[in-house]
Amino acid sequence: MEKTPFNKQSLQLKNIPGIFLILCLAGVTYFLYQVISPFLPVVIVAAVLTAAFHPFYKIFVKLFRGRKSIASIVMCLLMIVVIIVPLIVFIMYLANEALSAYALLEQKMQSGAIDSYFSSTSKGGLLYDIKARLAPIMKIEPTYMKSAITDVAKNISNFLVDKSAELLKNATTMLIGFIFTLFTMYFFFKDGEVLIQKAVHLLPLPNKYEKILLSKLSQTTRSIFQGIFATAIAQGFMAGIGFWIAGVPNAALWGTLAGFFSMLPYIGTATIWLPASIVLLTSGHVSSGVFLILWGLFIVSTVDNVVKAFVIGGGMKTYPLFVFFVVFGGFLAFGFPGILYGPLVLTVFLSLLDIYKMEYAKVLDGMSDEKK
- What would the pLDDT profile of 134-162 be if each residue is shown by its tens digit? 555 544 555 555 566 556 656 665 665 56
Assign 111 a pLDDT band (cuts: 50, 70, 90): low
- Nearest Cα residue to 347 out of 322, 329, 321: 322
pLDDT digits (tens, 9 = 90+) for 276-323: 887 787 677 778 888 998 998 888 888 877 787 787 777 767 777 778
pLDDT band at 124 (very low <50, low <70, confident <90, very high): very low
Q: What does the pLDDT read at residue 158? A: 62
Q: Which amino acid, residue 80? A: I
**Does the pLDDT at position 339 exceed 70?**
yes
* H-type alpha helices, the chain: 16-36, 40-63, 68-79, 85-111, 126-134, 142-169, 171-201, 207-246, 251-261, 270-282, 286-295, 303-316, 320-334, 338-359, 361-371
**Which pLDDT score, from 0 to 100, does residue 209 have?**
81
Neighbours of 262 (CB within 10 A): 27
Contacts 24+ apart (CB under 8 A), 202-209: 205/355, 209/355, 209/358
Q: Distance (Å, rounded) from C-alpha 339 to C-alpha 325?
A: 10
Question: Residue 280 class from Cβ within 10 Å (0-12 exposed, 13-18 middle, 19+ buried)?
Answer: buried
Question: Going by C-beta distance under 8 Å and a sequence separation of 6 or more, which residues neighbour residue 242?
Answer: 273, 291, 292, 295, 296, 299, 300
Q: Decide: pTM greater than 0.75.
A: no
Mean pLDDT of all residues in 20-48:
86
**pLDDT for position 201:** 79
pLDDT, position 187? 92
User: Which one is predicted more confidently, 104 or 213?
Assistant: 213
pLDDT at 227: 81
| Higher pLDDT, residue 130 or 292 | 292
Q: What is the model's pLDDT at position 197?
A: 81
CB 122 within 8 A of CB 116: yes
Rounded Cα–Cα distance for residues 238 and 262 (Å):
12
Q: Give the domain ranges of the chain.
A: 202-372
Grade residue 354 by pLDDT with cuts at 50, 70 and 90: confident
State the pLDDT at residue 295.
Answer: 92
Is pLDDT larger for residue 115 or for residue 196? 196
Q: What mean pLDDT comes out for the span 13-37?
A: 85
Q: For residues 24 and 28, give the distance between their C-alpha atoms in angstroms, rounded to a whole number.
A: 6
Q: Exposure of 206 by Cβ count < 10 A (0-12 exposed, 13-18 middle, 19+ buried)?
A: exposed
Which pLDDT belongs to residue 186? 92
pLDDT band at 29 (very low <50, low <70, confident <90, very high): confident
| Torsion 86-88-90-91 (CA) sign | positive
Q: CA-CA distances (angstroms) from residue 11 to 7, 16, 18, 21, 277?
A: 9, 12, 17, 20, 78
Which one is predicted more confidently, 165 or 328? 328
Residue 54's nearest CA partner among 216, 188, 223 is 188
Which alpha helices (H) appear in 40-141, and where do they start and end?
A: 40-63, 68-79, 85-111, 126-134
